[in-house]
Amino acid sequence: MLQTLAFYLAFLIIGLATASLGPGLPEFARNTGSSLAALSSLFLFHRAGYIAGSLGGGRLLDRTRPNRLTGLVLAVIAVSLVLLSRAAALPVLLGSILVLGLAQGAAETGSNTGVVRLHGDRAGPYMNGLHLSFGVGALLSPLLVSASRAMTGSFRAAYVFFALLAVLAGIGILRLPAPPATPRSAGGARRDSRAFWAIAGLLFFTIAGEAGFANWAFSYARKTGLASEAGAGLLTSAFWTSLTLGRLAGIVLVRRLGPFRLLTLIVPGALAGSVVFLAFPDSLGAIWTAAVLLGFFQASVVPASFTLAGDLGILSGTAAGLFGAASSLGGMALPWLIGRFFEASGGTVFPVLIAASQAATLACLGGIRMARGKAGAGVGPG
């Protein structure tokens, strides 16, 4: 149980760091003298690092234990957070965020694979618990950043706290024994490539929508005059709160439905939230509805996808790294794309691209269904 909790703590720290970026944008802009358009490159560098960390971490996991990898990269996360909070020039900021993403990608891959190795065919609820830990960190992060600003006039105190927590967690994880090696074949992804790439696409578009909304909802609410700074902060927290509740619900639902049936329930739900926002982009109620529905229904897509890949026998360390890279690429592409056109469009591009990402997610779910049917998959009840 201690090993599972250690991976949960690593994911909580990843959530703290990731969710601090959106509320931190105005201060990053002031510290570096950059415009919001220029800062859209922040997401590009962060996710580029995440992709490299996921791929490299996945290959390392086929050669070393998840505890060792996760524990070491948490120290790198700590250092990069401190550098990020003190960056006074855009190149330093971008370099720090690149290193942060690199370490986060490796830590995420190590934790995902570690939980599957520990729990095997019973990994579903534990995987949802792992990603719930991310949601808890993401929920707390904007609140801690806001509290730091209120008390000190800057977000630096919050970032130092996150860094100290990462160091302590890394030391604790390194002291734990390794989980058993996975009994699943590393060649599974090659044997069922259609399912593998459909799951990768599902992860790409899900994280694109999640990161796009989480990182730009604050700025959209302020740009359109729908909310004050405090109200926009509450909107961001509402998204992460809903995501946290969705992962709590997913722990129960994945046990009852199995991962695939759970996906057929939650992916259309997320699309419905984005359609409401697209239909009424100037309505405060619509953006709040989108925040709640997107957060809740997107919450279990990633853990259910990893659990489904495990059930299908395609989750080696390398495969987990590729899934992480697909997720990171989505999380890089859509926030960057929104940022490039955000100011010029007056923010109107935001609801359009969020809805498009959810429609593409639904299409990928159809691809998984077709791949399972052709393979006669139907692994278990899910």
pLDDT digits (tens, 9 = 90+) for 104-155: 988 888 888 778 777 777 777 888 888 888 878 887 888 898 888 888 888 8
Selected residue with higher pLDDT from 37 and 341? 341
Q: What pLDDT sits at residue 171? A: 86
Selected residue with higher pLDDT from 29 and 286? 286
Domain assignment present for 380: no
Could you identify the residue written with the tokens 């997320």?
270
309-332 pLDDT tens trace: 877 877 777 788 888 889 878 887
Helix axes 229-257, 284-298, angle to 10 degrees: 30
Domain assignment present for 148: yes
Distance CA 374, CA 382 (A): 16
Instruction: Record the pTM.
Output: 0.73
Q: Work out the mean pLDDT of the chain and round it to a whole number.
A: 84
Distance CA 274, CA 263 (A): 17
Ranges 8-22, 60-74, 144-158: which has the least confidence: 60-74
**Reported confidence tier of residue 373, pLDDT bands at 50, 70, 90:** low
Report whether pLDDT(189) > 50: no
Domain assignment present for 288: yes
Distance CA 106, CA 112 (A): 10
Domain assignment present for 382: no
Helix or strand (DSSP H, E) at 97: helix 90-119
Q: What pLDDT sits at residue 28? A: 87
Distance CA 180, CA 312 (A): 19
Domain assignment present for 234: yes
Distance CA 330, CA 201 (A): 9
Report whether pLDDT(265) > 90: yes
Q: What pLDDT sits at residue 294? A: 95
The total number of structural domains that make up the chain: 1
Report whether pLDDT(192) > 70: no
Domain assignment present for 152: yes
Distance CA 242, CA 261 (A): 21
What would the two tokens of residue 177 be? 């024994």
Mean pLDDT on 281-296 = 94
Structural domain harbouring 197: 2-375
**Reported confidence tier of residue 266, pLDDT bands at 50, 70, 90:** very high
Distance CA 275, CA 295 (A): 14
Helix or strand (DSSP H, E) at 86: helix 66-86
| 69: Cα separation from own chain's centroid | 19
Q: What pLDDT sits at residue 179? A: 59
* Non-local CB neighbours of 30 within 8 Å, separated by 6+ positions: none
79-96 pLDDT tens trace: 999 999 888 999 999 999
Q: What pLDDT sits at residue 184? A: 44
211-264 pLDDT tens trace: 899 888 988 988 888 988 788 888 988 898 898 889 889 988 988 898 899 999
Residue 111 burial by Cβ neighbours in a 10 Å radius (0-12, 13-18, 19+) = buried
The CATH number of residue 322's host domain is 1.20.1250.20
Mean pLDDT on 19-43 = 82
Q: Is 317 within 8 Å of 111 (Cβ atoms)?
A: no
Domain assignment present for 180: yes
Domain assignment present for 381: no
The count of residues in the chain is: 382
Distance CA 20, CA 137 (A): 10
Q: Is 205 within 8 Å of 213 (Cβ atoms)?
A: no
Selected residue with higher pLDDT from 346 and 260? 260
C-beta neighbour count of 337 within 10 angstroms: 17
